[in-house]
Structure 1
Amino acid sequence: MSSFYTSLNGLRNAETDLGVIAHNIANAETNGFKKSNAHFADLVANGSLSNPRLATGIGATVSAVTQNFALGGIEQTGRSLDLAIDGDGFFAVRNAETGETFFTRNGNFRIDDAGTLTDATGARLQLTPTDPSGAVTAPGTVIDGQVPVVNAAGAELANLTIERNGVVLAAYADGSIEAVGRVAIANFVASDGLRSIGSSRWEATGLSGAPTFTTPTVGRAGQIMSGALERSNVDLAEEMVALITAQRNFQANAKAIDTATQISQTIINLRS
């Protein structure tokens, strides 16, 4: 019976929906995480020569699982290398071994003993080159974030601060302060075309288009908030409501399968 297969397909779709919701809930406390939504489309058994008044629906299919890049809550941490973007765009980080560049909203960065700015996985934060005063020297290009641990006068690095416009300022023991670059912000024509690769990171695809690099406060790039991190944009109350709806959808399809099975059994018994 077609109703059996239609409802079975509905069970698969409900399972997909539950999986997406469960993934959102599991990452409610993941910094920089962006929630996803499952979208469905109906299937119809209909041809160009068939009577439109006799068209029969044969279930639904998953049309897309899209990501919601709305801004998450901003949490103050007080740590100078914790960064949040108050606006659009992504931080860019480069894997030093493979040369691949990834994009993230999780601004939990650190500096290693060589003065390299990295994320938790060791990928290098990308900066736009500047002169010592902080003026951009090569717009649209990016380099690995590298802070000299000793300046030209031989003084050791004492402190590192990041301004709202993304300028990274290195302060040294002799009192001198030098700009080493500006945090690069990557923007995309269609950010929902980015491919999620885990760890709150994405990579560019043909659907998203190539990244356009700019600096904070320029164009639609937001400003940098130092000493803060962007939380997940998952709303647990909203996800719990969606979870109940998906559960009822699953149960309704299961009941339809049970009914179809009973009808089929009745027909078999009549024939025998």
Structure 2
Amino acid sequence: MSFYTSLSGLKAAQTDLGVVSNNVANVGSVGFKKSRAQFGDIIASSKTTPGNGTRLKGIEQQFSQGGFETSARELDLAISGNGFFVTRDALTGGNTKFTRNGAFKIDQERYLRDSNAGYVQVLPVNAQGNVTATGLSAARNLQLPLTSGTPRATTLMNLSVGLPSNADIPEDRAMYSGGYTFDRLDPNSYNQSTQTTVYDAAGNAIPATIYFVRTESTAAGDAQNSWDAYFFVGDEQASADSGSATPTPLRLEFDASGAITSPTSATAFSTVSPAAASAPLTISLDFGSASNQSTGTFTLASIEQDGLSTGKLDDISIGEDGLVTATFSNGETQALGKLIMANFSNPAGLKQRGDATWSVTGDSGPAQIGTAGEDGFGKIQSGALERANVDITEELVSLISAQRNFQANAKAIETANAMTQAIMNLRN
């Protein structure tokens, strides 16, 4: 009987060695959870006989928190506390799996996927980022949009400028008494210019430039202070007088204190069709009440326009609560969903699927679904990965212990064999 008792010890030590070896081998695996072999004694058949050895009761997973490794990737995520990310292994339907490995990536179809090509699951949210449906039945794959927003043609530009009161009348105007000729390609024919971007109905960006020309100055003996504003959209000049046969500038007038007196409201310019536009544009200019003429240099206090382009995806960010937010080139942001978090009454009962993924079993209980930061769920840290919860020093000690147990049981078998051999020799 001692042979079989020691043999059970050898098998137990061998299993323990395998478990510890697996822990050591996965010390560099992201999200890996170590295991521990659980053994129990085999009871004796009577009170007068010793036990019959040991048996493997099970290999129990240890779901303690692993350390964090910082990363420069926004899509590297770690869970601080309890919970698992939820993934599915097919685009539609598929098996639901759970993981602590947050090394996510975007595939060629812009889906967020884990390191095993599983589709990361999120809950739908409204524009404010609040969850609108809960539970695994509401889960969906996260796909990043390419663009955002509906394009809108510019119809109004609001600007506020400060024009210098000591500005000279352009040289061309002073030199040629026969008439003044403005030429936007000749810097001597205007005093200042400012440029911005407007948009057509398709969201195409078109440069818009306003050229300012000093026309009258009370300091030079004129009756008033005035400037002409020439408005160009792309390569075409818009006219402040839509009834004029030739484009005309907008006349800006200021009183002695420098306050603007004309125009007092938005001025509608004529429709223009620059070469880069998909459709004609009709834009109004409003210099407001803050535009003025004063000592000093030309200043552009503000310039705004009401057109919109279609924004292209620029960046994504993931908050502590798992909210995925996309930022677009036009300045818009869009909440895409909240990462689903799952927890279990008995995580040790989960079935290992490899690569730091697990699936539900009867022992684990059903998944409890929520979002990061809620009661029972940890927070998400972006730019970090959870390392394996393996303490290499502890595992080496366990490895030595398992090795000694194996040697001791082997020695017990050797001793039992020697005793049996001695008994056999008595017959001789």
TM class by shorter-chain length? over 0.9
Structural mapping, 1:59-138, within 5 Å:
59-96=53-90, 99-138=94-133
**Are the counterparts in 1 of residues 318 and 382 from structure 2 also a CA contact under 8 Å?**
yes
In structure 1, what is the Cα distance between the partners aligned to 2:85 and 2:370?
11
In structure 2, what is the Cα distance between the partners aligned to 1:123 and 1:170?
21
Aligned amino acid, residue 212 of structure 1: Q
In structure 1, what is the Cα distance between the partners aligned to 2:398 and 2:103?
30
Bigger CA radius of gyration: 2
**Are the counterparts in 2 of residues 44 and 55 from structure 1 also a CA contact under 8 Å?**
no
Q: Which residue of 1 aligns with 2:271?
A: none
Q: TM-score, normalised by structure 2?
A: 0.61
User: Aligned with 1:9: secondary structure?
Assistant: helix
Shift of 1:212: 1.5
Shift of 1:78: 2.0
In structure 1, what is the Cα distance between the partners aligned to 2:146 and 2:370?
26
Aligned amino acid, residue 169 of structure 1: T
Q: Which residue of 2 aligns with 1:42?
A: 41
In structure 2, what is the Cα distance between the partners aligned to 1:152 and 1:95?
32
Q: Which residue of 1 aligns with 2:7?
A: 8
In structure 2, what is the Cα distance between the partners aligned to 1:174 and 1:197?
43
Q: Which residue of 1 aligns with 2:30?
A: 31
Q: TM-score, normalised by structure 1?
A: 0.95
In structure 2, what is the Cα distance between the partners aligned to 1:38 and 1:100?
28
Shift of 1:265: 1.1
Aligned amino acid, residue 321 of structure 2: N
Greater CA drift, 113-122 or 201-210? 113-122
User: Aligned with 1:57: secondary structure?
Assistant: coil
Name structure 1 gaps, 5 residues minimum. none
Q: Which residue of 2 aligns with 1:243?
A: 399
Aligned amino acid, residue 199 of structure 1: D
**Are the counterparts in 2 of residues 131 and 179 from structure 1 also a CA contact under 8 Å?**
yes
User: Aligned with 1:56: secondary structure?
Assistant: coil
Q: Which residue of 2 aligns with 1:17?
A: 16
Q: Which residue of 2 aligns with 1:234?
A: 390
Q: 2:422 aligns with which of 255, 266, 269?
A: 266
Q: Which residue of 2 aligns with 1:142?
A: 139
In structure 2, what is the Cα distance between the partners aligned to 1:220 and 1:44?
40
**Are the counterparts in 2 of residues 132 and 179 from structure 1 also a CA contact under 8 Å?**
yes
Shift of 1:185: 0.3
Greater CA drift, 143-152 or 225-234? 143-152
**Are the counterparts in 2 of residues 92 and 185 from structure 1 also a CA contact under 8 Å?**
yes
User: Aligned with 1:165: secondary structure?
Assistant: coil
In structure 2, what is the Cα distance between the partners aligned to 1:255 and 1:202?
40
Shift of 1:142: 1.5
**Are the counterparts in 2 of residues 41 and 61 from structure 1 also a CA contact under 8 Å?**
yes
Q: 1:191 aligns with which of 341, 344, 347?
A: 347
**Between the two proteins, what is the percent identity of the paired residues?**
46
State the number of aligned residues: 266
Runs (4 or more) in structure 1 with deviation over 4 Å come to: none
Larger % of helix: which? Answer: 1
**Are the counterparts in 1 of residues 110 and 143 from structure 2 also a CA contact under 8 Å?**
yes
In structure 2, what is the Cα distance between the partners aligned to 1:199 and 1:245?
28
Shift of 1:121: 2.3
User: Aligned with 2:54: secondary structure?
Assistant: strand
In structure 1, what is the Cα distance between the partners aligned to 2:21 and 2:341?
31
In structure 2, what is the Cα distance between the partners aligned to 1:63 and 1:85?
31
In structure 2, what is the Cα distance between the partners aligned to 1:39 and 1:189?
20
Shift of 1:156: 1.7
Aligned amino acid, residue 348 of structure 2: D
Instruction: Note the alpha carbon deviations across 1:174-225, whole angstroms, 9 max, x for none.
Output: 1100000001101111111001111011111011111121001111111110
In structure 1, what is the Cα distance between the partners aligned to 2:386 and 2:4?
44
User: Aligned with 2:422: secondary structure?
Assistant: helix
Instruction: Note the alpha carbon deviations across 1:93-147, whole angstroms, 9 max, x for none.
Output: 1011670011100000011232210012221001011012211000223211122
Shift of 1:173: 1.2
Shift of 1:83: 0.4
In structure 1, what is the Cα distance between the partners aligned to 2:406 and 2:30?
31
Name structure 2 gaps, 5 residues minimum. 151-309
Greater CA drift, 16-25 or 149-158? 149-158
